[in-house]
Chains A and B, each alone.
Chain A
């Protein structure tokens, strides 16, 4: 899945463009490439959803695009200007139009400042308007995000709930009239019903102010709801880029389909019961797998995947995937002919006892089968070297 390549880039009138971004952390022998040759673009008025699990580099990508982290290589072009080539002062000015909203609402606000002051701050820093004008604008913006400036303006973040703090953060980010809003997991730390409020709020603000958004999250359902285009990341690389409905109905990348299958549907009758299609954990980013980074957990991995890094290629209109064997190109049953599935081979594969012996052919991945109830677990206890039954099995 190591998705390099720029087949998915669009020419012409894009507002924000990141090309061959590389962001590294650490020093010496322990350098980690959190973002490894990632390219994408965002058209004006579009919302790009960036989705992936912990450690995939999506937050770092978001920050790199806002130039919070300076990319180690690659370029970020905003409205025709290459931000990476600007001097510090020019960058500071150019960046006012690219604002961020962060994940933890309470800690992203200064705990010692009152809400109204925190929201006025961006204008004070840039010396925009008179004191009264700034105050008026802050009040209007707080109003627009659903916070009553009269009763809540004088409060501190500790006195407010997560949802309220997130609204204040959003208000603060809107004060300089940005064109691009980068939201880094803005609803992950919020309760379900508050999450819905904030998502609706972001949608309304985007519509009213003509914003362009980059929405970063790990919840595919949330990302699907807000985005016009979705990019899936894994271990610092892009897997797949497609419009949300296409991504859901016809995912091409094995990782995307695994993600979709893992999402528990709040519907007991649903076929997608959130069964775990992927075993194991993320490989270490310090020493990622060669070739395609997803191959160690991919049920379709072949030798090519270890040898060669897949490049982005088109699978349909506006649908791009970085994979040697995308799902659409496989016939039914082809997956089962592949090398022993990683799911069966590793001893850590859940569910436990008994682990299948290596001689047994691995079952086709769960999402290729018709929806099945949870597999029957044999009632006998696992083979144990000692005679006495293990302590924790109830008599």
Chain B
């Protein structure tokens, strides 16, 4: 059985592609909920060239998963509003009908989901889950699809693939399941891969294998890749550019080396400082960021990071900073950026004024008090 119709869209041969592979312009995605309108993605723009990897870093509630799904158009039908443009290989994905999108999904743009146990169908054998898209989209016959599936499984490092075709997901380990997910996503040879937290929940040695695998596949197929994660360590070595998200917006975007060398946005800096490093001596005091990410349903005024920012000043609470440039391809959102004289000034003023975020940031010993949006002490 094949759903293959005459393709409605034509995608240019990638070698002849002019311009970026993916262009996202002012993407907004909001959900209507009982609590109000939750602006999960609040004005995101970026471009991605073929063969490059973009890391999207953010915590829970930053909008990074919704961003990936908005780009692909994998959103619920009801109570969702999406605006902005997503141009892939010359086509506007946001203007496509479902039929047209079906030609894009899997074939041109593919996604690796976060939790393989829930993303894979538990009652269908793994082999069939891989051959499914090969038969439906690529129109292969049963034998051809099986052979391709076996070769795919080999290329993602699944041992004994012929036997594994007949396994169910629960019979495989976490690492194996994620490899199956990657095989499914690569089956039809997409040009863009969106990997949404592909290694969260996996052991660190398996994580390293999976990331190596993704990097190799990307290099061989010359794909564009977007790696969405909360782990700065994962993106530090495997991405060309990094976009840091907070409260639905990109707050800093730069080439990877530049981001780590010349961080500008205080949130990025605070995030880097709060991670325990293996090289630090034991019992190093961690520079935790007090408070919690903001409620996306609440009305925003000023910079969304202000309640937790060590550099915060009055202007930050009143006016939201726009994206500004700091050198080659490096944009950020801050009035008092890291490494600037006004930033250093602001931090010093805050430490004197005993602003909790500044005290926590500079390592002054204070109990980790949560800071509510209005600055008063509140439950964490």
* Residues of A bordering B, CB below 8 Å: 53-54, 146-148, 151-152, 160-164, 167, 191-197, 199-201, 203-204, 218-222, 224-228, 243-245, 248, 258-270, 272-282, 346-353, 374, 377, 382, 384, 386, 390-395
Expressed in whole angstroms, the Cα–Cα distance for A221 and B280 within the complex equals 9
Which A residue sits closest to B233, measured CB to CB?
Answer: A264
* Residues of B bordering A, CB below 8 Å: 13-14, 59-60, 134, 138, 140, 147-148, 151-152, 154-159, 173-176, 186-189, 191, 203-209, 211-213, 215-216, 219-222, 230-234, 236-238, 256-257, 260, 270-272, 274-290, 292, 367-370, 377-380
Which A residue sits closest to B280, measured CB to CB?
Answer: A225
Which B residues lie within 8 Å of A273 (CB)? 237
Q: Which of B203, B281, B377 contacts A54 (CB 8 A)?
A: B203
Expressed in whole angstroms, the Cα–Cα distance for A192 and B212 within the complex equals 23
Q: A199-B286, A226-B283, A351-B216 are in contact. Are A218 and B204 (CB under 8 A)?
A: yes
Expressed in whole angstroms, the Cα–Cα distance for A243 and B205 within the complex equals 22
Q: Are B151's CB and A384's CB within 8 A?
A: yes
Which A residue sits closest to B172, measured CB to CB?
Answer: A281
Expressed in whole angstroms, the Cα–Cα distance for A209 and B281 within the complex equals 23
Q: Which of B206, B212, B379 contacts A152 (CB 8 A)?
A: B379
Q: A200-B368, A273-B237 are in contact. Are A279 and B209 (CB under 8 A)?
A: yes
Q: Which of B60, B205, B212, B272 has the most CB of A within 10 A?
A: B205
Q: Which of A193, A219, A259 contacts B271 (CB 8 A)?
A: A193
Q: Which of B205, B274, B367 contacts A53 (CB 8 A)?
A: B205
Q: Which of A228, A346, A351 contacts B282 (CB 8 A)?
A: A228
A256 to chain B, nearest CB (A): 12
Q: Which of A161, A193, A222, A394 has the most CB of B within 10 A?
A: A193
Which B residue sits closest to A244, measured CB to CB?
Answer: B282
Given contacts A161-B292, A219-B276, A281-B176, 11 further A-B contacts (CB under 8 A): A53-B206, A196-B276, A201-B368, A203-B285, A219-B204, A222-B276, A225-B286, A262-B208, A264-B237, A269-B260, A346-B159
Q: Which of B204, B209, B257 has the most CB of A within 10 A?
A: B204
Which B residue sits closest to A249, measured CB to CB?
Answer: B279
Q: A264-B234, A353-B155 are in contact. Are A192 and B59 (CB under 8 A)?
A: yes
8 tightest Cβ-Cβ pairs between the two chains A and B = A264-B233, A196-B288, A348-B159, A276-B208, A266-B232, A53-B203, A152-B379, A196-B274
Which B residues lie within 8 Å of A392 (CB)? 148, 152, 186-189, 221
A-B contacts, 19 listed (Cβ < 8 Å): A148-B378, A167-B380, A194-B59, A195-B274, A196-B275, A200-B368, A218-B203, A225-B282, A228-B282, A269-B260, A274-B207, A274-B238, A276-B209, A277-B205, A277-B208, A390-B151, A392-B221, A393-B220, A394-B191
Which B residues lie within 8 Å of A386 (CB)? 147
Which A residue sits closest to B255, measured CB to CB?
Answer: A268
Which A residue sits closest to B60, measured CB to CB?
Answer: A191
Expressed in whole angstroms, the Cα–Cα distance for A348 and B215 within the complex equals 16
Which B residues lie within 8 Å of A272 (CB)? 278
Q: Which of A192, A349, A395 contacts B231 (CB 8 A)?
A: A192
Q: Are B220's CB and A377's CB within 8 A?
A: yes
Which B residues lie within 8 Å of A151 (CB)? 378-379
Q: Which of B151, B256, B281, B369 contacts A146 (CB 8 A)?
A: B369
Expressed in whole angstroms, the Cα–Cα distance for A228 and B282 within the complex equals 8
Q: Are A224's CB and B276's CB within 8 A?
A: yes
Q: A265-B278, A351-B212 are in contact. Are A197 and B257 (CB under 8 A)?
A: no
Expressed in whole angstroms, the Cα–Cα distance for A348 and B152 within the complex equals 12
Q: Are B216's CB and A377's CB within 8 A?
A: yes
Q: Are B237's CB and A274's CB within 8 A?
A: yes
Which B residues lie within 8 Å of A279 (CB)? 209
Which A residues lie within 8 Å of B209 (CB)? 276, 278-279, 350
Q: Which of B204, B230, B257, B281 contacts A263 (CB 8 A)?
A: B204
Expressed in whole angstroms, the Cα–Cα distance for A58 and B238 within the complex equals 30
Q: Are A54's CB and B174's CB within 8 A?
A: yes
Which B residues lie within 8 Å of A390 (CB)? 148, 151
